[in-house]
Amino acid sequence: METILLLAHTEFDGSLARPALEALAAAIALGGELHIGLAGAQVQAAADRVAGAGATRILAVTGDAFAQARYSTDAAAAEALCRASGAAIVVAPATSRWSRALPGVAYRLGGRIDTHATGLTVRDGAPSVTRWFYRQRMEAVLTRTARPWFVLLDVGCVAPWEGAPAASAQVETIAVAATQSRTTVTGIQAPKADEQTIRPDAPLLFVAGAGWTKKQPDGAVHIEEAQQLILGALRGAQASLGGSKSLVDSTGEGEAVLPFMTHLNQVGQTGSTPRHQKGLSTCCHGEEPHVVGWRFVTERRAVNLDANCGWARGKADVVYVADAFAVVRELNRLLA
Ligand SMILES: Cc1cc2nc3c(=O)[nH]c(=O)nc-3n(C[C@H](O)[C@H](O)[C@H](O)COP(=O)(O)OP(=O)(O)OC[C@H]3O[C@@H](n4cnc5c(N)ncnc54)[C@H](O)[C@@H]3O)c2cc1C
């Protein structure tokens, strides 16, 4: 097996986030000589964290410039680490930073890159990458002869490496020539943590469909209550919020909307394909373009007034033919 470089960037506190440890586990499973390349303001804590992973070299690019997510500095760090390692295969987690910077680094090194990999295995002695095509409808296994071969591993596909940390790992510092950058990071604006509705690590995906904003059996729309019920369920179950296309589209059409619902929440063929263990669909019909986004959700339940909805046709394990307002009201009472 060829030499493998695991590329990781540290977080603001110098730690390694879960996606880096997932990519490390995938890199180790390939079985070749392992190098680890770290980029960040400080990397010693991260190096200590992975010191027991069996890497023959831990390389690092450090300095304040590498704390920020920024194409020029991220690409420069990754390029320097790859050149110093000389590894044939470079595995990295598909974080927003690496997803943006590594395709350019692969080009600089004359290599190739595969993104959205969901697994790495060895077949007939050759490393191979698994990924899905056509909005998760077909799974393919790819091999390549071109090197260096970069692989961006999607988050949540592999159990993270859980080896014990060690003290004072040996780190080889790699110098990077000063990079030209037009981007200065002046601060970060982010919603408060409790306003965050997309939680990839949550065990439960709570999906809201357009039914929440439609006229109910009493002839009226109950947007305010819908908001309170959905937010209550999210808070109580610490669930991640998904939406149907109809619901997120109505946000842009000036209709009665749920203000916390955006296109980022959309699940389905033209939305996302999240990987939660369980899913609860509410007021959503369960049409195929929506349900295709549930491919990786293993336990599925739906609440719909319509006993003939799409979920009832073999797409959910359990369908409650009921008023979602009443069900979620009761659910929130129990969660409280
Ligand atoms: C090319 C293409 C791509 C698409 N991509 C996507 C995609 O990525 N994601 C996606 O979601 N859709 C996608 N769609 C659209 C999809 O086909 C459906 O139109 C959409 O999912 C319907 O959304 P909905 O179920 O929320 O709304 P509706 O079809 O309006 O269903 C609302 C449901 O709410 C139920 N309901 C109402 N009130 C209550 C209540 N009180 N309690 C319980 N149930 C209630 C109703 O019975 C109904 O079943 C795509 C379509 C096309 C053509």
What confidence tens digit (pLDDT) does each residue in 116-151 have?
A: 999 999 999 999 999 998 877 789 999 999 999 999
Which residue(s) pair with 206 in the sheet?
241, 280
Question: Is 270 a pocket residue for ligand 1 (Cβ < 6 Å)?
Answer: yes
Question: Can you tell me which residue has the tokens 């129990």?
Answer: 334
In the reported structure, the alpha carbon of residue 310 is separated from the centroid of ligand 1 by a whole-number distance in angstroms of 9
Q: How far is CA 254 from the centre of its chain?
A: 30
Question: Is the model's pLDDT at 193 over the cut of 70?
Answer: no
Structure confidence at residue 87 as a pLDDT band (50, 70, 90): very high
pTM here?
A: 0.78
Query: How far away, in angstroms, is 287 Cα from ligand 1 center?
Result: 6
| pLDDT for the residue numbered 188 | 79
Q: Is the CB of 229 under 6 A from ligand 1?
A: no
The separation between the first and the last C-alpha atoms of the chain, rounded to the nearest angstrom, is: 54
Minimum CA distance residue for ligand 1 atom 11: 244
Residue 255's pLDDT is: 67
* 192 pLDDT above the threshold of 90: no
Which residues, in sequence order, are CB contacts of 188 under 8 Å at separation 6+? none
The set of residues, in sequence order, having a beta carbon less than 8 Å from that of 244 and lying 6+ positions away, is: 207, 208, 209, 210, 266, 267, 268, 284, 285, 290
* Residue 194 confidence (pLDDT): 63
- Minimum mean pLDDT among 57-71, 83-97, 206-220, 245-259: which range? 245-259
Would you state the pLDDT for residue 178? 79
CA-to-CA distance for 142 and 89, rounded, in angstroms?
14
Supply the residue whose CA is at minimum distance from atom 18 of ligand 1.
Answer: 287
Least confident stretch, 143-157, 249-263, 271-285: 249-263
Please tell me the predicted confidence (pLDDT) of residue 223. 93
For residue 254, the CA-to-ligand 1 centroid distance in Å is: 18
User: Ligand 1: does its nearest atom lie under 6 Å from the Cβ of 331?
Assistant: no
242, 206 Cβ separation under 8 angstroms: yes
Cis peptide before 259 (omega within 30 of 0): no
Distance from the alpha carbon of residue 305 to the mean position of ligand 1, in angstroms: 13
Does the beta carbon of 269 lie inside 6 Å of ligand 1? yes
Among 251, 292, 303, 305, residue to substitute to test ligand 1 (most atoms within 8 Å of Cβ): 305
